[in-house]
Amino acid sequence: MTCDILATLHSPADVQRLDDRQLDECCAQIRETLVEFGKRAGGHIGSNLGLVETSVALHVVFDSPLDKIVFDVSHQSYVHKMLTGRAEAFLNAELFGSVTGFTNPAESEHDHFVLGHTGTSISLACGLAKERDMVAATGAAPQTRNVIAVIGDGALSSAIAFEGLNNAAEQGGNLIIIVNDNEMSIAENHGGMYATLAEMRASHGRSDRNLFTVFGLDYRYVEHGNDVHTMIEALREVKDIDHPVVLHVHTTKGLGLDAEDARHGVRAGRCEENHWQNPLAQEGTPLGARKYYGALAMDALAARFEHEPGLIVISPATPGSNGITHAFRAQAGPHYVDTGITEEHAVAFASGIAKAGGRPVVATSATFFQRTFDQVQQEVALNGTPVTLLSFGAGLSDADNTHSGAFDVPFFGNIPGLLCLAPTSRQMFLDMLAWSTSERNSHPVLIRVPGNQILGGERAGTLDPNATVEPQATDANNPWCGYHVAEAGDTVAVLGLGNAYPLARDVVHALASDDTDPVHATLIDPLQFSTLDETTLRALASDHTLVVTLEDAQLEGGWGEKITAFYANMMPGSGMRTLNFGADKAFTDRTPLVTLNSRYGLTCEAVTARIRSVLR
């Protein structure tokens, strides 16, 4: 691969010195680099391949960082990073992973926000433009000139994108909104607006129906968005404009993917698999927990569709990562709804279905459920509608700082009226799902889909995938609200919530196997984190002096601290001591899980050492 030009680009000023021929060569080299990077390192390759020419043209025409570019979601900022001094992170295998997959101000002055969720670029750009105009009105020199938001057509389904468009039209002033229309979201686009966008493309922007002009926004259309010279001309026409304008650019997602990629199912154009590409070396590896348990859940639900018209699966645009396969979608027909990137609508929509008598299931990532806190609390929990929320990717992981699932226990667990279940086996997960979606349940339920800690134990044979529990004596009216005593002991009780249960089991066995000072501790699977099983907690006080809680989520505001508070406030004379293990209240960025577990003391050695220090 020839990278002569790309290797010489250390700043946008270097890009601006390229002549027409060199610009074409630069785009070709960037595309070749992205294709090779995708094979070796993986990532959001498709969207970046489609945005090569736009990104190059942006840095030819505008003067970053004085002209500020905000990439929506920012997973399509790889080319921008290459052109702002970070190309080696995509060229040199030893530096793969040295920059994030999203914009990050800690890396470069050309990145203005840490972004990883959808739809916010226009609102952020409005804010940058507002401050610029306010400073300019005083006669001072603002630190911002042109403001450019780059947003994809899939991201337009987010409510906040329309809120931003609405505000931009009224605010006025220089604001350039580039809509990168590659005819795809994460999966297919869904929603009525996309027929209008198709009509706008077919008419080359001349259709009477126009999503943007109805807001009062100026509008331009570019059909050949993968031609760098066309893009340079289009951007020069709107540079320094004195009012908001939408530049609607038609591109091809994944342009440049080659025959080798195609053999692995990754193709250019409208292909869901080009959104996120795993390294080719990972092909054939077993499914991770999200896809494995998700597929099992979908199979179980699909078997009931014929006789249950109100059983409906809702995915806000992320089906593939959660085991909602193409085959399931085809089989489900109207029992499956992809709402687009609309978590707020998806949850409110589900509540409406449930109120009418249905049993909807909303399936998405823990991090994306954060986007719909109000609907979970108000439309679902406050109204008591029997919606089932399947939360994938919950808990500690090596995710970047925009996609962490470590905040889910404090988030969900403090919503009144929401039963939050944390199954610790395959069968328990399916049993909980079957109950929550049945007529036996009449309240909202959140199920924390088991993670790789559980799946790994099941595959290794240390956890029984068929293990489940009958409703406990302490929860006759609310299945699974009572804690499950898996192994009875004395002196010490170790409670492991959800993904932390395998660790709790290891700790109990390690304490018992110490020949010099064995401790036969009680092992408890709490099953849920929405309420306390006070009956079990009170019973422990009769022959235990220490209760230990383990959770793979933020400790502060979480589950374990509530048990500590229970003994302190409700049983102050019991003499019960407690130890709580969990994550700090902190953002983590691509930190290996083994490092996080060590940092937070979530290892068998650290937990047993703390227990023995308290018992001395």
pLDDT of residue 1: 42
Indicate the CATH number for domain 4-265.
Answer: 3.40.50.970
Helix/strand/coil (H/E/C) assignment for every residue in 176-207: EEEEEECCCCCCCCCCCHHHHHHHHHHCCCCC
Number of neighbouring beta carbons within 10 Å of residue 169: 19
Tokens read off for 542: 């009769």
Q: Where in the chain is the domain with CATH 3.40.50.920?
A: 473-615
Rounded CA gap, 143 and 68, in Å?
Answer: 10
State yes or no: pLDDT of 40 exceeds 60: yes
pLDDT of residue 223: 98
State yes or no: pLDDT of 23 exceeds 70: yes
Rounded CA gap, 144 and 25, in Å?
Answer: 31
pLDDT of residue 476: 47
State yes or no: pLDDT of 609 exceeds 90: yes
Q: What percent of the chain has a predicted confidence (pLDDT) above 90? A: 95
pLDDT of residue 479: 83
**Amino acid, single-letter form, for residue 110:** H
546-588 pLDDT per residue, tens: 999 999 999 999 999 999 999 999 999 999 999 999 999 999 9
pTM confidence score: 0.96
479-538 pLDDT per residue, tens: 889 999 999 999 999 999 999 999 999 999 999 999 899 999 999 999 999 999 999 999
State yes or no: pLDDT of 260 exceeds 60: yes
Mean pLDDT for the stretch of residues 99-110: 96
Pick the residue with more confidence: 474 or 267? 267
The answer to whether 361 and 390 have CB atoms below 8 angstroms apart is yes
284-330 pLDDT per residue, tens: 899 999 999 999 999 999 999 999 999 999 999 999 999 999 999 99
In CATH, the architecture of 289-460 is: 3-Layer(aba) Sandwich (3.40)
Mean pLDDT for the stretch of residues 349-353: 98
Tokens read off for 430: 């399916």
Burial class (CB in 10 A: 0-12, 13-18, 19+), 470: exposed
Beta-carbon contacts of 226 under 8 Å, excluding residues fewer than 6 positions away, are 50, 52, 53, 251, 252, 255
Which backbone phi and psi does 355 adopt, to 5 degrees? -65, -35
State yes or no: pLDDT of 186 exceeds 90: no
Q: Which DSSP letter does residue 334 get?
A: G
Indicate the CATH number for domain 473-615.
Answer: 3.40.50.920
Q: Where in the chain is the domain with CATH 3.40.50.970?
A: 4-265, 289-460
